[in-house]
Chains A and B, each alone.
With several copies, the nearest count.
Chain A
Amino acid sequence: MILVDKNTKVIVQGATGKMGSAHTKRMIEYGTNIVGGTTPGKGGETIHGKPVFDTVLEAVEKTGATCSCIFVPPYLALDAGMEALDAGIKLLVLITEGMPPQDTAKLVAQVKAKDAKLIGPNCPGIITPGQSLIGILPGSIFKSGPVGMVSKSGTLTYEIALALTESGLGQSTCVGTGGDPIKGLDYKEVLSMFEADPATQVIVMIGEIGGNAEEDAADYIKANIKKPVIGFIAGQTAPPGKRMGHAGAIISGGKGTAESKLESFRSNGVLVAMTPKEVAQQAAEALKQPVKAK
């Protein structure tokens, strides 16, 4: 597994809001080590049996949390992220959708300066099945196993996880990096972690149209990743110039097409799957092969 395990101490920023509260409950039920929440002005209350603090600093001092799952409105997300970093949080899981990208850019710069990690924004979060679920993923779909997943998408990740799980393949960790053009962790960083993770034997990388992160990742895989990687790209039928739901999912100026990404996968040794079931089939196949020597 990477990034999170059953010992990861997690606080929830915005824990008493509607969404924050609902998912705090789910995370606790899943078994995530939720140690508290924050909502300014609600310090001293409890939420689903966990203490609520006024500030992240106070929460960190009193609980030893190292990870924060952030559910705050989009225009407050920058401040929430900055507060987490200031308080020493090292892993930020930022669920919020609709964060202004210039705010994200400012947060990303500070994340780098503080040597922390950011997942998101506009992401489903991260799960190490059976140990820790941080975010909004439906835990019941996942099970523990050898497949590491990294994806820009939420529900598509669930779909593919479901296909894997139903075909008997569990997951080491699944990371949803988010659908925004500006974001924290990208493919390459997650891939390198999976490469180093003994529990991960095969990697599934789920991309979509827009930008060139998949192409970049494919180059990186060829040079650095020995474990088999199965690639999937959504949006092969998307028309150019249209934003397909995710802020980042747009083909513009002829760039960011599915063809370009698939071609780059193929030419860099990434196995290509065209449906969620095919992902599971390829993963099963790859698990039977010996590890590539590079």
Chain B
Amino acid sequence: MNLYEYEAKRIFAEAGIPVPPAARITKPEELAKVHFGYPLTLKCQVMAGGRGKAGGIKFAKDLNEGKSLVKDLMALTIKGSKTESLLVEPKMPIARELYLAVTLDRNRGCAIFIASAEGGIEIESSDNVLTEPIPYPYHGFAGRKLAQKLGLKGAVLNKVADIANKLYKVFENKDLDLAEINPLVITTGDDVVALDGKIIVNDDSIARQKSFAGMEESHLSELSVRERRAKMAGLNLVELEGNIGILCNGAGLTMATMDMVKGFGGDPGNFLDAGGGSDQKKTLEALELVNENPNVDVILLNILGGITACDEVAGALVQFMKRHPERKMIVRLRGNNQDIAEKMLSESGLKLYPDLEEAVKAAVEAAKSAGKKPVGAGKS
């Protein structure tokens, strides 16, 4: 779960990390109540990255200019993400910018600091990046060590060390995937302030983080309506542009099935991994989600039952086909309780493909003959 900048900075402030004074507004008239003195910074609160380049950050020299900017910025949509509100802050007297983040490192299998003596950068494309494994249990020397490796000195070294330590504590205590300050600003007065903040909460940990309770639904704004519904139902749905709806159990098999569809000349309309052990109800919901995508002409169901019982899937199929007898279905169903499933489906007239490649080829064929609708058209 991605948080908005203002939410991330609120969490930073609670942890003792200095952030600029700020007000969150949505209407031009609210600007009159902001008493930081001009010039002010106005920042769109959007989930999407690259906000600055997209014109989502503006400076106002007085109230009049500010009001007009508020109106413009609130109307802005960045990479499909609507502006939720504006964060208003005094413009900082910046002497220097740093980058500081904590995340988990896949290769080392532990938390790391990512830091750079250059701030405000795209960290992925920077050469000047320091990565430091973080010891567990954590001790405050880790922050000092990092600050020293960044080449800092004196009071600034101690302030950055302290912020690094607090950032790690936020990362650990809140179960984050990422806690990022970019830029971390050193002011002309040697204050150190988190000018922008990004937090990604680990999705698997939200349920034990009481402070994020109830926030999840309002923070899925980059997802389509159906992707959001899938997430709430415990299904993994990613919608694509093609016309072959794909439903499998297991992420790897779903991706491999998509790849094969593409490989045999078809176009996947979605990724839908129903997960392991899905029952009839969940499978039916998954079928409906794939079916509702207006791009989809054919549904390819590929189940290799390990935990998933084929008879549960068959039950869902029977119900689904009653509801949607016109929907073209290609079904491959193998594994656990396959025999029962085959018996359940024998009266439906549905052809079962034991072989995955045959099923994929059939789906591609069926999709090609299905109305020749151009790819990408009619997407809701």
Contacts and interface: CB of A to CB of B under 8 A. Distances in A.
Interface string A230-261: 00101111110011111111000111001000
A124 interface: yes
B304 A158 contact: yes
A182 interface: yes
A155 B157 contact: no
B158 interface: yes
B250 A155 contact: yes
Contacts of A102: 104, 111, 172, 175, 202, 205
B292 to A, nearest CB: 19
B133 to A, nearest CB: 10
A274 B154 contact: no
Contacts of B158: 40-41
A3 interface: no
A138 B158 CA distance: 34
B252 A141 contact: no
B345 interface: no
A67 B177 CA distance: 31
Interface stretch (A29-37, A93-101, A264-272): A93-101
A189 interface: no
Given A158-B306, A254-B124, A276-B356, A244 B255 contact: yes
Contacts of A232: 256
A182 B259 contact: no
A55 interface: yes
Contacts of B106: 181-182, 211-213, 248
A182 B204 contact: no
Interface of B: 104, 106-107, 109-111, 124-125, 135-137, 139-141, 144-145, 147-148, 153-155, 157-158, 161, 172, 175, 177, 202-205, 207-208, 236, 238, 240, 248-256, 258-263, 268, 271, 273, 275-277, 304-307, 334-336, 356-357
Nearest to A57: B145
Interface in A162-195: 162, 179, 181-183
A234 B259 contact: yes
Interface in A40-96: 40-44, 54-58, 74-75, 78-80, 82-83, 86
A248 to B, nearest CB: 7
A152 B252 CA distance: 8
A256 to B, nearest CB: 9
Nearest to A155: B250
B251 A246 contact: yes
B238 A239 contact: yes
A134 interface: no
Interface centre among B175, B271, B307 (most CB of A within 10 A): B307
A54 to B, nearest CB: 5
A40 B157 CA distance: 8
Nearest to B307: A136
A244 B271 contact: yes
The size bracket of the interface on A is 35 or more
19 contacts: A41-B154, A80-B141, A82-B135, A97-B275, A104-B109, A106-B136, A154-B253, A155-B252, A179-B251, A179-B252, A206-B252, A213-B106, A237-B262, A238-B255, A244-B273, A249-B252, A253-B124, A274-B263, A275-B356
B253 A101 contact: no
Contact of B204 (A78, A156, A247): A247
Contact of B259 (A155, A236, A253): A236
A163 to B, nearest CB: 8
Interface centre among A40, A206, A237 (most CB of B within 10 A): A237
Interface centre among B172, B258, B261 (most CB of A within 10 A): B258
Given A102-B111, A182-B109, A154 B252 contact: yes
Nearest to B360: A275
A137 interface: yes
Given A109-B109, A182-B109, A277-B357, A74 B204 contact: yes
B250 A153 contact: yes
A157 interface: yes
A179 B252 CA distance: 9
Given A234-B259, A238-B271, A276-B356, A156 B109 contact: no
B236 to A, nearest CB: 4
A200 interface: no
A78 B205 CA distance: 13
A197 interface: no
Given A100-B202, A244-B236, A154 B141 contact: no
Contacts of B336: 138
Contacts of B304: 138, 155, 158-159, 162
A245 B139 contact: no
Contact of B252 (A40, A182, A208): A208
A263 interface: no
A235 B263 contact: no
A155 B303 CA distance: 9
A54 B153 contact: yes
B256 A159 contact: yes
Given A40-B161, A54-B153, A109-B110, A124 B306 contact: yes
A209 interface: yes
Contacts of A54: 144, 147-148, 153, 157
Contacts of A236: 255, 259, 262
Contacts of A182: 104, 106, 109
Contacts of B307: 19, 136
A24 interface: no
Closest 8 CB pairs of A and B: A153-B252, A245-B251, A155-B250, A156-B252, A83-B141, A253-B124, A245-B273, A234-B255
A54 B144 CA distance: 8
B145 A97 contact: no
B126 to A, nearest CB: 11
Contact of B153 (A43, A82, A206, A249): A43
